[in-house]
Structure 1
Amino acid sequence: MTGLSTSLPWLLDQAAAATPDRPCLSFLGRTYSYAEVAGLAARVAKGLQKLGVCKGERVGLCLPNSPYFVACYFGALKAGATVVAFNPLYTEDEIRALIVDSGTVVMITLDLQVLYPKVAAALHSTKLRIAVVCPLSDAMPLSKGLLFRVLKRGSIAPVRYSPAVLPFNSLVSNGDEPEPVTIDADSDPAVLQYTGGTTGVPKGAILTHANLMANVEQVRLLLEDSGLEGGRLLALLPLCHAFAMTSAMNLALASRSEIVLLPRLDMKQMLRTIETERPTLFPVVPALCVAMLSYPGVERFDLSSLRCCISGGAPLPTELKQRFEKRFGIPVVEGYGLTEASPVVTCNRLGEIGPPGSVGRPLARTEVDIRALDDPTRALPAGERGEVVVRGPQVMAGYWNHPEESREVLQGGWLRTGDVGHRDENGFLFLTGRIKEVILRSGYNVYPRTIEEALFCHSAVAEAAVIGIPDERCGEVPKAFVRLRDGEHVSEAELLAFVATRLNPLERPVTVEFRSELPKTVVGKVSGQELARQEAAKREERSGHG
């Protein structure tokens, strides 16, 4: 790749020009070439321009992983628009709030009962001008599409088309090339990626074309020895999330690889797809590694095509990484990032044996520093814990409509991540937790991840999370939440005794609550925030009855 100031549509256009007949997408048995996807994206761009979408206006994608997402993402960018990625799992209220905040004028979604009604409701309560509805069955092979329309008829939403509700085929019915749009890659927003950020309130991180182009090139360089070029990449994680957007979709196009798209998590379908489609690279989150390890009969599937899994989205416990690699013989490369950095910041190198528990060293052209928790301007030496700060070409321009929060997290060219960690003498980064999750016990900082790592060392533990709960004597104390592996049993006393040998007295949890499931975020990360909310509700209920 040359010229990191190039805009994102260049990724698809260059790949289509160089390898027009190479497979670009595979979806439920249907294959799309690079030329087909580029042509469809161009028609989407032209259609949006005909609808009056101007440069910089926001186009929303409320789509699961599908050919529509890829074509509409690059089509909207080619038209000069800014993409707003909506998670299909969002509620109607969440979709409405993000439409209002972002000023989305066109929303593209599927003709499914679980999606279209949520978007349609926003047409009457926001300034959203147009909804474009894509028929899911048309993206499938002909026979599967016919069966879907018959057997899944109840899942298809009745759509009443109008000037404000258009079928996708109407959007792309012209064969004209879109009007060329001049894009300033360094300053023009490509994507508004919503995140809780460092304050917990959803905000749109402004990711420019240059931010995203820099990050995909950084990741590509890191993985160029993995056989990525011209390979196959399995995209199960939602493309609407920054991790999959960069490390699956954009990375595949930058390396002219094929993207094997899966629209939802179905373990049997996923394992069968790996066996039949033979992908070489698989971005994962820790919860997915846990699910694969515990899936009954997983050993019957041939997963040997996978050369590497990239883990992100949440901390990967050392014990889980070792168990996964031993069971499947697939190396797992763990990285660290955040939406505000497009999102990848550090990563372990394939074939490099780094220190256990590390999330790697900074990517090319990226600086990572550790600052004092009580003074973000004071740098700390190797080995000392503090706030992780990041500087590099992938760092966002700021938060959409939130200038004060932007100034708070972007200081002197550095992004304050809100994460706590330390570096060793060789530059490897270790994460301890979030600043807001640090437990203040008797005046000492206690880090949830340290306790979670100790819990994961027990062979019966499948998932674990630790939060702080109020305590009259100590201020706060750690409480652990644990999901056991299927068929395993351990008592609270046994587990507390087990971790007591691995933790200092301040770090030892006071209680363990066993759960059949732990609450997750939309990308499969165990939600400590939700556990804290549930605990607060319990305390309030108890005080109400007191």
Structure 2
Amino acid sequence: MKATTGIANPVELLLLGHAGDRRCGVDRRVGEVTYADMRGAVTQYAGRLRAAGVRPGCRAVVVSDDCIAAITSVLALWWHGCVPIVLHPTLRPAEIGFIVRDSEAEFAELNVTPEHEAALRAELGEIDTERRAAGRVGLLTELGPNSVDQSTLPPAAFRETDELLVQYTSGSTGRPRGVRHCLRAVNAILRGVGSMLELTPDDVVLSTAKLSFGYGFGNSLLYPYAAGASSVLLDGQADPYNVAAALDEYRPTVLFAVPRLYDGLLHLSEQGKAIETGSLRLAVAAGEHLPGQLATRITEAFNVPLINGFGATEVLHMVVAAAVGQGRAPGPGSIGFPVPEVTATIRDDAGRPLGDEIPGRLHITTESAALGYLNRPEDTARVFADGGVYTGDIAFRATSGDICHVGRADDMLLLGGHKIAPAEIERVVRGIAEVADCAVVGSTDPNGLEQATVYVVARDPAHPDKVRKAVRSALRTSLAPYKRPSRVEIIDELPVTANGKLARFRLRRQLGGPVDSPEGRT
């Protein structure tokens, strides 16, 4: 796969270097789109940005589910020299408003339903008024006609370490943090994981992870477009039924998904539903832990090689991976080996490397490391340290050389590829009149996949069903679907340690999930 060495703007690699008649993407709204079609749409959009006075170099929010229009927006913003921030419509208006304020975005593209757009415009209108009253650039939400033939103008130039893309990820308190990526990072992942994928112009890529997340952004845009391949853009919920329908309709050659989605497809197959996988040549699983038994079931049922990957938003995409198949399956906790040009070490709290079989903090050295967090100097200094990135995971290196994952250094949950802060869920539940206290912990379901459980202490223990109903109602109202716990358990009291802190490890033990020592968690 080609990398961006010597290229000043990613659109030169992703859009301009391929045969115009080749298909670059397809979605249910517009059908198939060629690279020539995309170039025309991108240059027209970039011309409208220029005509509207959108400042090159500014950050711009794109609120959209996966579709051709979202890809067009990102590429046009890059052409114009802007820094895109892709957000999914399941975020509430207040959450999007926070990101707009935090990032100081100067432009917003709203590709959402009319009802959602009205709510977002009200939120963004307040921000626009605040900025203009303070004498600052207002938030542009309208584009006029293209008065400039942008196709005659070259794409804007980015230096290797200029900010190119911001992706928001939840922090340990649930407060989103903007991760600042650069062109150097794009180049690095194309040389790293890209070399393992071996995509060609004949490949058709289907990703169940959304563009608004690092995993999906690489899957649906960076990797296929760099190879001159095409990607299938799925809007709506990526559940097993919709993905099975997409496999049948679009016949992809490469499937990117999270382990629990593969588990769901296998469950449908076991129930007698035909799952069309004959077109696949490769499957990729990442976003959460892949149990060895599930990996074996995937390779046997789909009859294709499987790449089991591990990554983080702070390093843009996967940095540790293993090929599964031909009798090979991940050992207990194994997440594989560092991908090309990546170094993974296990370190103690002082940053010193540890020997084999000794658990410690997972540290990644790679050129795909982000520039840091946006407006979070303390977090940046803590995470981007010792010449690389601390992922927030506890792991150890086996004597065989592979990296084995033990758990999160904090209490972050990893559900279907999304990092979720328990504190964010707990704030919603604690606001319910019927709830006295609560705690959210992760455990594993019977298939070894991580799930979230909220433990609730009821104000009136005599009516647990009423409390459980109130909790589920609040979760549906206040949280995006992927943030909602799978289980609600009513208990008499939450366990605490000797110094009065919540003993989450005891709740995990009660669930039968992985148990960490109280010193390893807060």
Match of 1:239 in 2: 211
How many angstroms does 1:275 deviate by?
1.8
Alpha-carbon distance between aligned partners in 2 of 1:117 and 1:337, rounded to the nearest angstrom: 36
Tell me the secondary structure at the aligned position of residue 184 of structure 2.
helix
Q: What do residues 479-517 of structure 1 show as CA deviations (whole Å, max 9, x unaligned)? A: xxxxxxxxxxxxxxxxxxxxxxxxxxxxxxxxxxxx9xx
Match of 1:113 in 2: 114
Alpha-carbon distance between aligned partners in 1 of 2:294 and 2:232, rounded to the nearest angstrom: 26
Indicate whether 1:395 and 2:348 are aligned.
no
How many angstroms does 1:39 deviate by?
1.8
Alpha-carbon distance between aligned partners in 1 of 2:285 and 2:129, rounded to the nearest angstrom: 36
Conserved? CA contact 1:230–1:255, under 8 Å: no
Conserved? CA contact 1:43–1:178, under 8 Å: no
- Amino acid corresponding to residue 68 of structure 1 in structure 2: A
Alpha-carbon distance between aligned partners in 1 of 2:276 and 2:77, rounded to the nearest angstrom: 38
Which residue, out of 365, 389, 399, partners 2:341?
A: 365
Alpha-carbon distance between aligned partners in 2 of 1:318 and 1:386, rounded to the nearest angstrom: 22
Conserved? CA contact 1:105–1:128, under 8 Å: no
Conserved? CA contact 1:207–1:397, under 8 Å: yes
Indicate whether 1:307 and 2:281 are aligned.
yes
Q: What do residues 296-320 of structure 1 show as CA deviations (whole Å, max 9, x unaligned)? A: 7564232211122211111112222
Residues 71 and 345 from structure 1, CA distance in 2 versus in 1: closer, same or farther, beyond 3 angstroms?
Answer: same
Conserved? CA contact 2:454–2:489, under 8 Å: no
Give the 5 Å matches for 1:441-480.
Answer: 452=444, 456=446, 461=447, 463-465=449-451
How many angstroms does 1:395 deviate by?
0.3
Alpha-carbon distance between aligned partners in 2 of 1:102 and 1:405, rounded to the nearest angstrom: 16
Conserved? CA contact 1:193–1:206, under 8 Å: yes
Conserved? CA contact 2:256–2:283, under 8 Å: yes
Tell me the secondary structure at the aligned position of residue 293 of structure 1.
helix
Match of 1:23 in 2: 23
How many angstroms does 1:26 deviate by?
1.1
TM-score by structure 2 length? 0.75
Alpha-carbon distance between aligned partners in 2 of 1:44 and 1:196, rounded to the nearest angstrom: 31
Alpha-carbon distance between aligned partners in 2 of 1:324 and 1:416, rounded to the nearest angstrom: 31
How many angstroms does 1:37 deviate by?
0.7
Q: What do residues 184-216 of structure 1 show as CA deviations (whole Å, max 9, x unaligned)? A: 332211111101245643110001122123213
Conserved? CA contact 1:20–1:34, under 8 Å: yes
Q: Percent identity?
A: 22
Residues 464 and 104 from structure 1, CA distance in 2 versus in 1: closer, same or farther, beyond 3 angstroms?
Answer: closer
- Amino acid corresponding to residue 266 of structure 2 in structure 1: L
Question: How many residue pairs end up in the alignment?
Answer: 436
How many angstroms does 1:32 deviate by?
0.5
Which residue, out of 195, 198, 204, partners 2:169?
A: 195
Conserved? CA contact 2:207–2:219, under 8 Å: no
Q: What do residues 162-188 of structure 1 show as CA deviations (whole Å, max 9, x unaligned)? A: x96536xx4557543374465333221
Alpha-carbon distance between aligned partners in 1 of 2:169 and 2:309, rounded to the nearest angstrom: 19
Residues 411 and 128 from structure 1, CA distance in 2 versus in 1: closer, same or farther, beyond 3 angstroms?
Answer: farther
Match of 2:406 in 1: 432
Alpha-carbon distance between aligned partners in 1 of 2:152 and 2:121, rounded to the nearest angstrom: 27
Alpha-carbon distance between aligned partners in 2 of 1:99 and 1:277, rounded to the nearest angstrom: 35
Alpha-carbon distance between aligned partners in 2 of 1:394 and 1:206, rounded to the nearest angstrom: 11
- Amino acid corresponding to residue 226 of structure 2 in structure 1: A
Conserved? CA contact 2:311–2:318, under 8 Å: yes
TM-score by structure 1 length? 0.72
State the Cα RMSD in Å: 3.5
Alpha-carbon distance between aligned partners in 2 of 1:201 and 1:413, rounded to the nearest angstrom: 26
How many angstroms does 1:127 deviate by?
3.3
Conserved? CA contact 2:107–2:140, under 8 Å: no
- Amino acid corresponding to residue 19 of structure 1 in structure 2: A
Alpha-carbon distance between aligned partners in 2 of 1:187 and 1:67, rounded to the nearest angstrom: 28
Conserved? CA contact 1:27–1:261, under 8 Å: yes
Alpha-carbon distance between aligned partners in 2 of 1:123 and 1:48, rounded to the nearest angstrom: 18
Match of 1:144 in 2: none
Alpha-carbon distance between aligned partners in 1 of 2:213 and 2:492, rounded to the nearest angstrom: 30
Give the 5 Å matches for 1:333-348.
Answer: 333-348=307-322
Q: Which runs of 5+ in 2 are unaligned?
A: 132-138, 413-440, 457-471, 496-522
Which residue, out of 256, 271, 293, partners 2:228?
A: 256
Alpha-carbon distance between aligned partners in 2 of 1:255 and 1:539, rounded to the nearest angstrom: 52
Q: What do residues 352-382 of structure 1 show as CA deviations (whole Å, max 9, x unaligned)? A: 736424222112111110012xx23221112
- Amino acid corresponding to residue 344 of structure 1 in structure 2: M
Q: What do residues 248-290 of structure 1 show as CA deviations (whole Å, max 9, x unaligned)? A: 3210001111111111225444323212321100110122112
Q: What do residues 211-262 of structure 1 show as CA deviations (whole Å, max 9, x unaligned)? A: 12321332220111xx644210013321111101012321000111111111
Conserved? CA contact 2:61–2:86, under 8 Å: yes
Q: Which runs of 5+ in 1 are unaligned?
A: 131-162, 439-447, 471-514, 541-546
Which residue, out of 368, 387, 397, partners 1:413?
A: 387
Indicate whether 1:166 and 2:142 are aligned.
yes
Tell me the secondary structure at the aligned position of residue 203 of structure 1.
strand
Indicate whether 1:66 and 2:42 are aligned.
no
Indicate whether 1:317 and 2:291 are aligned.
yes
